[in-house]
Amino acid sequence: MGTKAERRVARERVAAYHEAQLSELVKHVEQEIARFRAGELDVFEVAAVIHRYHRAAQKLWTFCDQSGAHVESTAQLIERMPDAGEAIDWWQRGETAKPKTIP
């Protein structure tokens, strides 16, 4: 476990990541609402988009949970992701699992 200052920096890094990723999720919703207003989607499809946003935001919140000692490891992971060419697609993670078909 790091010093208080290191934990504070880690919390700030995770909070900034959380905010940026939430902003990206909201952009998805904005795009789909624009499609609804243009008559391309019906109200049920928009409701499904909002539900997907909710699931994705929950998963993001769990990842960014800043309680305890996990904040430092989460901050380190966030810092390493761009260098490793990795990113978490939170919108994709909000998608519901497709039901398995029975043969």
pLDDT in tens, 24-61: 999 999 999 999 999 999 999 999 999 999 999 999 99
pLDDT in tens, 72-85: 999 999 999 888 88
pTM of the model: 0.84
Are 46 and 31 spatial neighbours (Cβ–Cβ below 8 Å)? no
Q: How far is CA 26 from CA 31, 41, 90, 101, in A?
A: 9, 17, 11, 32
Distance CA 57, CA 83 (A): 24
Distance CA 27, CA 49 (A): 11
